[in-house]
Amino acid sequence: MTESGHPGGAPPRAEVCETHSAIVFFAGDRAYKVKKPVSLGFLDYTTRAARRTACEREVVLNRRFAADVYLGLGEFRGPGTEAPEPLVVMRRMPAERRLSRLVREGAALDDVLRAVARHLATWHAEAPRGPEVDEQGTRDALSARWEAGFAQVHASAGDGSVPDGVPEAERLVRRYLAGRERLFASRVEQGRVVDGHGDLLAEDVFCLDDGPRVLDCLEFDDRLRYVDGLDDAAFLAMDLEQLGAPEAAAGFLAWYSEYSGDPAPASLWHHYVAYRAFVRAKVSLVQARQGAPGAQAAARRLVSTSLRHLRTSAVGLTLVGGLPGSAKSTLSGALADRLGLSLLSSDRVRKELAGIPAEQSAAAGYGDGLYTPEWTARTYAALLDRAAALLSAGESVVLDATWSDPAQRDAARRVAERADADLVALHCHAPADVTAARLRARSAGPSDADLGIATAMAARESAWPEAVGVDTSGPLESAVGRALAAVRPWDGGRTPVFRRPYMEPD
């Protein structure tokens, strides 16, 4: 919120900026922030003592992020006043280095966003923690905040209608949270819930040569500042996206995860971005009801952003099946890579269970060796057990197997239902001469199937009517496009894939 002119030039102009709860006076190289004597429900500054406490609190809390900006508590006294009015004294920041301005001007952002991500991760590493903080990072606490937001949106719709997308957002939020108890419990156990910033906007970040200065943390309600560190970072990512820089938003979250050593699944990144967008949408709806120009359009845009990220955060189980030579493993790998999903292969799991390397041959006749019905049942059980654990931890999973047995497909459906995960089935196929040529040219690898086994399996393959057929005889990109349309029919490639940085195993 603080601004200055160009260093070394003429003295900066005196200015005034007003918010719903404060007035900021800019004079010379200083900024002076005075609290308004207002009561807004969530804060009450109607007494001088309350305003002094709020000013003191603002200085203490914000010095955690910008110690040399928040200079201390000051006061002024007007003619005829009985007591001095408290105010926050700040160093005035250069307006041209405001992050929101850099984004709008199309400036190079990688270096500055890396610095902000490192700055935030450094604070989170040393931020206060404890049971009271942890309580606000639980699944139930997040659910309560979502539900309160939904209730406020419904209440603000005087005619009973809510913006398009809100009912779907409600359904997606409840479904995600219902199946992710393990994920949120692990976040608390890992110490990921911290006393953070709580209101991280690009407007309040200044990118100076000696590092960023992050201003205006949320000080009027500690509980709203007690957040998962990723939630804190997601606030800025959401704001960057609203400023028209979605790739910068994705990059910022990736850098934050790198500097904080955070292994969070991409679904949680998207969920928190969606939450922050919905909170902003709720505020815009209130402003629209008060007649603020442009607020209704802003609310629609923010609800759309929230819904797109909620759809992306939905945890899914994708079965990619087909006979040997159908290129199901190739498609599985390409799909998992494109969307950043976890990939499990029945061929690899089978050999792992047998204690042999994946590339080592275990070739046997149809139904013999490692391919007896008993071994196959054991393989699929292990495959689904691992998938269930990943789904509950917020990871979407691609399962590469033949899926020729309806009983195994039913078992997969039950796993998806228990995890509140979306199930998509893809059935790879190609003309017989194409699959035969592939099998003849196949080198040693996890799969031991040859043309004879493929022929025997084809004679026993049952119909799979619920699966989406994918013709793999053409270019791989064509098959991937068909698969993407089935897995994410609503996206069209518009949502950036949040990729976690590589981390050395413990």
Residue 81, classified by CB atoms within 10 Å of its CB into exposed (0-12), middle (13-18) or buried (19+), is exposed
Q: Alpha carbon of 506 to those of 118, 186, 352, 405: distances in Å?
A: 22, 16, 21, 38
Residue 492 has pLDDT above 80, yes or no: no
Q: pLDDT grade, residue 504 (50/70/90)?
A: very low
Residue-wise pLDDT for 398-435, tens only, equals 999 999 999 999 999 999 999 999 999 999 999 999 99
Confidence of residue 158 (pLDDT cuts 50, 70, 90): low
Burial 204-224 (b: 16+ CB within 10 A, else e): bbbbeeeebbbbbbbbbebeb
Compute the distance between CA of residue 283 and CA of residue 250 in angstroms, rounded to an integer. Answer: 24
Instruction: Please compute the mean of the pLDDT values over residues 485-506 and round it to a whole number.
Output: 65
Structure tokens at 221: 């309600």
Work out the angle between the directed axes of helices 295-313 and 166-178 (0-180°, nearest 10). Answer: 30
pLDDT digits (tens, 9 = 90+) for 114-129: 999 999 999 999 999 9
Query: Residue 502 pLDDT more than 50?
Result: no
pLDDT at 273 (0 to 100): 98
- The predicted pLDDT at position 454 comes to 85
Provide the 10 A C-beta neighbour count for residue 76: 12
Domains contained in the chain, CATH given: 15-91 (3.30.200), 98-313 (3.90.1200), 316-487 (3.40.50.300)
Strand bridging mode 422-429 / 316-321: parallel
> In this predicted model, what pLDDT tens digit does every residue of 324-373 receive, in sequence order?
999 999 999 999 999 999 999 999 999 999 999 888 888 887 778 788 99
Give me the residue label for tokens 């949270």: 177
Residue 160 binned pLDDT confidence (cut-offs 50, 70, 90): low
Q: What is the pLDDT of residue 450?
A: 82
Give the confidence band of 457 by pLDDT, cuts at 50, 70, 90.
Answer: confident
Q: What is the pLDDT of residues 249-262, one digit of tens each?
A: 999 999 999 999 99
Dist. CA 54–CA 45, nearest whole Å: 8
Q: Mean per-residue pLDDT for 224-240? A: 97
Distances (CA, A) of 44 to 23, 35, 49, 54, 365: 15, 10, 11, 10, 78
pTM of the model: 0.90
**What's the rounded mean pLDDT across residues 82-108?**
95
Whole-angstrom distance, CA of residue 219 vs CA of residue 216: 8
Instruction: Please tell me which residue, 177 or 4, carries the higher pLDDT value.
Output: 177
Q: Is 146 helix (H, G, I), strand (E, B) or coil?
A: helix
The tokens for 476 are 């791989």
pLDDT tens readout for residues 270-289: 999 999 999 999 988 888 88
Give the count of alpha carbons within 13 A of 136, CB side only: 20
Say which amino acid occupies 173. Answer: V
Identify whether the C-beta of residue 235 lies closer than 8 Å to the C-beta of residue 252: no
Element (H, E) at 140: helix 139-156
> For residue 95, what is the DSSP state?
G
pLDDT confidence of 455, banded at 50, 70, 90?
A: confident
User: Average pLDDT for residues 491-495, to the nearest whole number?
Assistant: 64
Strand order in the sheet with 70-76: 15-18, 22-27, 30-35, 85-91, 70-76
* Residue length of the chain: 506
If pLDDT is split at 50, 70 and 90, which confidence band does 500 have? low
One-letter-per-residue 3-state SS of 156-179: HCCCCCCCCCHHHHHHHHHHHHHC
Residue 244 clears pLDDT 90, i.e. is over it: yes
Amino acid symbol at 453? I
**pLDDT in the model for residue 350:** 94
Per residue in 301-337, pLDDT (tens digit) is 999 999 999 999 999 999 999 999 999 999 999 999 9
pLDDT at 41 over 70: yes
pLDDT digits (tens, 9 = 90+) for 161-174: 788 899 999 999 99
pLDDT over 80 at 6, yes or no? no
